[in-house]
């Protein structure tokens, strides 16, 4: 029983950590795209 709960707890933490990494990566990509778009508009 204890090993089962530990495994489910690890899976939950792993899913939350993966979601956090995906969210941060998407935010970085979004800001990079905005940065390039604004740079292009400034040069034009």
* pLDDT confidence of residue 30: 95
Q: Dump the DSSP string for 1-44.
A: -HHHHHHHHHHHHHHHHHHHHHHHHHHHHHHHHHHHHHHHHHH-
d(CA 11, CA 16): 9
* pLDDT confidence of residue 43: 61
Tens digits of pLDDT across the chain (44 residues): 555 666 777 888 999 999 999 999 999 999 999 988 888 776 66
d(CA 11, CA 17): 10
The domain segmentation of the chain, as residue ranges, is 1-44
* pLDDT confidence of residue 44: 60
Please report how many Cα atoms fall inside a 13 Å half-sphere around the Cα of residue 38, on the Cβ side. Answer: 6
Query: Does the pTM exceed 0.85?
Result: no
């Amino acid at each position: 029983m204890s090993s089962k709960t530990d495994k489910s707890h690890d899976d939950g933490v792993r899913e939350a950590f993966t979601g956090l990494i995906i969210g941060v990566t998407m935010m970085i990509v979004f800001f990079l795209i905005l940065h390039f778009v604004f740079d292009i508009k400034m040069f034009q």
